[in-house]
Amino acid sequence: MEELLSFISWIFIEVALIGTGRLAVRAVSLGRWRGEHLGGREGRVFAPAGALSFRQNGARVVTRAGLLLAGLAFYLAIGVLALALSNV
């Protein structure tokens, strides 16, 4: 039962990080880059193995792994900023 609960919580966290990464990538790139669709297979078809992003029809597409890292970086930056402001 504990394994099932940890699996479900990891899926929830992963989806939240990917969604946050998608918003962060779109905001930082001012809409020029986009994230890979959650159910899509673009990354497997067009990107080299292990790529975080690739170009398709002249547009940069960030893969799910790249979106996960972008979401993680966003939350780490918020945490560091909160820690720095709390010490002021």
pLDDT tens track for 34-63: 998 888 788 888 888 888 899 988 889 999
Task: Give the total number of structural domains in the chain.
Answer: 1
pLDDT score of 8: 95
Q: Per-residue confidence at 4, pLDDT binned at 50, 70, 90?
A: very high
The rounded distance, in Å, linking the Cα atoms of 46 and 50 is: 12
Give the tokens for residue 57.
């029809």
pLDDT score of 59: 87
Q: Is the pLDDT of residue 80 over 90?
A: yes
pTM of the model: 0.86
Question: What is the radius of gyration, based on Cα positions, of the chain?
Answer: 15
Range of the domain at 26: 2-86
Q: Is the pLDDT of residue 86 over 80?
A: yes
